[in-house]
């Protein structure tokens, strides 16, 4: 496939296996947590803290990767930590242990994200960034289809046996680790490493980054501040009376749409403009959240989750392609790591805030607030940022 190199293929396969493991557990995570005594508010706090750890580590390790001129160790160790965390979740049910293991998983994501995305950027040209990132997202999300399907098949045979699933999820995680060992850093001139990189040093990149980068990221972070974990969408579906199996099927359907459209929308973004596709995705997101505030029908949920899959396909890879085209090549991991770092911190606040609003005022209010803020961000991106050069 033209433009998709061996390295992109390997990284995409690694993401496929890792997401198979992660997404095997993600749709049943809120169900499992509730079964061991977690409240809605505590689930929100757990997801928030986990995302905060991921966020800060994304920024730090992205900066460190650029500083050292190394990519592969961050990718390999990052995927290894995430794979290790899966079976650990089943050992104890104490809240402190659950918080620790969930955080370990997110730390692995933080360790690998900036370096991995920098590799993807280096493997593409400015005119093919959407294609490369879209292909990676498509493969990644294919795992998000396979994982819940495996979980669904297992739970049909062994209802409510959530713990065993955490052990089973270790298998695709191991395959991801083995694939990661096939990657090697390209030979580059060794960068000086005498100066130390502090844990929060990536914050300084914000001051020295291009003005367009700051404008774009500022808009994206306002959106993220009100875009909570997908766990709340699944809880709303469950609250509407759908069975565990139907909740998982709905999540599979969303990921299937996401996987199918990520690659073609990435190619379309390269041809028509990254901004056009990204803003369209945000508009679809707003429609979904307006709908989720009132939805009670299973058929309506499927329609909304179809649009939600289209939103994800139009924004996730495209946003990173957009950022990598703005940033200097030597700062790619730092730029993406800084953005995803701040993004995770905002997600922490969003998840905690959504849990509290849901608890106090109900799900409808939480979803409506997010939808309104998203429309504001759409107008900001349309009128405040020019179309990026591809």
pLDDT tens digits, one per residue of 87-99: 887 776 677 777 7
Give me the domain span that covers residue 131.
6-182+203-384
In this prediction the pTM is: 0.76
User: What is the C-alpha to C-alpha distance for residues 33 and 254, in angstroms, rounded to an integer?
Assistant: 22
User: What is the C-alpha to C-alpha distance for residues 167 and 101, in angstroms, rounded to an integer?
Assistant: 13
Q: Is the pLDDT of residue 390 over 60?
A: no
What is the CATH classification number for the domain harbouring 213?
1.20.1250.20
Count how many domains the chain has. 1
CA dihedral 299, 304, 309, 310 (to 10 degrees): 120
Across 334-347, b (16+ Cβ under 10 Å) vs e yields bbbbbbbbbbbbbb
Residue 260 maps to a domain? yes
Residue 49 maps to a domain? yes
pLDDT tens digits, one per residue of 134-182: 899 889 889 878 887 888 888 888 877 777 888 888 889 899 989 988 8
Q: Is the pLDDT of residue 194 over 60?
A: no
Looking up tokens 């433009």 gives 3
The three-state DSSP-derived secondary structure of 263-320 is: HHHHHHHHHHCHHHHHHHHHHHHHHHHHHHCCCCCHHHHHHHHHHHHHHHHHHHHHHH
Q: Is the pLDDT of residue 271 over 90?
A: no
From residue 132, give the alpha-carbon distance in Å to each of 94, 116, 369, 382: 41, 12, 34, 25
Residue 191 maps to a domain? no
Residue 120 maps to a domain? yes
**Predicted pLDDT of residue 201:** 64
Residue 198 maps to a domain? no
Record the tokens describing residue 140, joined without a space.
């990644």
Residue 1 maps to a domain? no
Q: Is the pLDDT of residue 3 over 80?
A: no
Q: Is the pLDDT of residue 225 over 60?
A: yes
Look at 47 and 295; give whichever has higher pLDDT.
Answer: 295
Residues with Cβ within 8 Å of 133's Cβ and at least 6 positions away in sequence, in order, are 117, 120, 124, 266, 317, 318, 320, 321
Residue 66 maps to a domain? yes
**Predicted pLDDT of residue 378:** 92
User: What is the C-alpha to C-alpha distance for residues 41 and 227, in angstroms, rounded to an integer?
Assistant: 16
Residue 336 maps to a domain? yes
**Predicted pLDDT of residue 189:** 47
Angle at 348 between CA 136 and CA 313, to 5 degrees: 25
Q: Are 136 and 120 in contact (CB under 8 A)?
A: yes
Averaged over 369-377, what is the pLDDT? 93
State the alpha helices, DSSP H only, in the chain: 6-25, 29-35, 40-68, 72-88, 95-122, 129-157, 162-168, 170-180, 205-208, 211-224, 231-239, 244-272, 274-292, 298-326, 332-361, 363-384
Confidence of residue 27 (pLDDT cuts 50, 70, 90): low
User: What is the C-alpha to C-alpha distance for residues 125 and 143, in angstroms, rounded to an integer?
Assistant: 26
């Amino acid at each position: 496939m033209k433009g998709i190199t061996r390295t992109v293929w390997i990284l995409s396969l690694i993401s496929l296996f890792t997401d198979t493991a992660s997404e095997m557990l993600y749709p049943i995570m809120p169900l499992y947590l509730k079964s061991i005594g977690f409240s809605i508010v505590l689930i929100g706090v757990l997801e928030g803290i986990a995302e905060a750890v991921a966020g800060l580590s994304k920024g730090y390790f992205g900066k460190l990767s650029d500083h050292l001129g190394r990519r592969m160790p961050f990718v390999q160790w990052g995927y290894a930590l995430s794979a290790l965390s899966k079976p650990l979740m089943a050992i104890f049910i104490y809240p402190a242990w659950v918080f620790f293991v969930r955080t370990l998983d997110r730390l692995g994501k933080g360790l690998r994200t900036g370096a991995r995305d920098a590799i993807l950027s280096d493997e593409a040209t400015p005119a093919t960034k959407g294609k490369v990132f879209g292909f990676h997202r498509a493969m990644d999300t294919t795992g998000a289809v396979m994982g819940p399907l495996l979980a669904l098949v297992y739970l049909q045979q062994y209802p409510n046996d959530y713990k065993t699933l955490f052990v089973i999820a270790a298998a695709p995680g191991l395959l991801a680790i083995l694939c990661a060992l096939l990657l090697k850093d390209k030979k580059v001139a060794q960068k000086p490493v005498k100066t130390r990189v502090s844990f929060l040093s990536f914050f300084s990149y914000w001051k020295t980054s291009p003005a367009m980068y700051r404008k774009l990221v500022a808009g994206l972070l306002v959106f993220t501040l009100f875009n909570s974990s997908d766990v709340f969408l699944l809880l709303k579906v469950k609250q509407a009376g759908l069975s565990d199996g139907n909740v998982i099927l709905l999540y599979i359907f969303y990921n299937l749409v996401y996987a199918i459209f990520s690659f073609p929308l990435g190619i379309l973004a390269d041809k028509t403009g990254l901004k056009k596709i990204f803003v369209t995705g945000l508009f679809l997101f707003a429609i979904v959240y307006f709908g989720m505030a009132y939805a009670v029908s299973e058929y309506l949920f499927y329609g909304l989750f179809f649009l939600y899959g289209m939103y994800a396909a139009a924004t996730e890879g495209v946003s990173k392609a957009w950022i990598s085209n703005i940033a200097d090549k030597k700062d790619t991991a730092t730029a993406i790591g800084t953005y995803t770092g701040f993004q995770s911190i905002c997600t922490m606040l969003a998840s905690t805030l959504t849990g509290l609003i849901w608890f106090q005022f109900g799900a409808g209010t939480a979803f409506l607030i997010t939808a309104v803020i998203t429309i504001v961000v759409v107008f900001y991106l349309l009128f405040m940022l020019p179309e990026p050069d591809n």
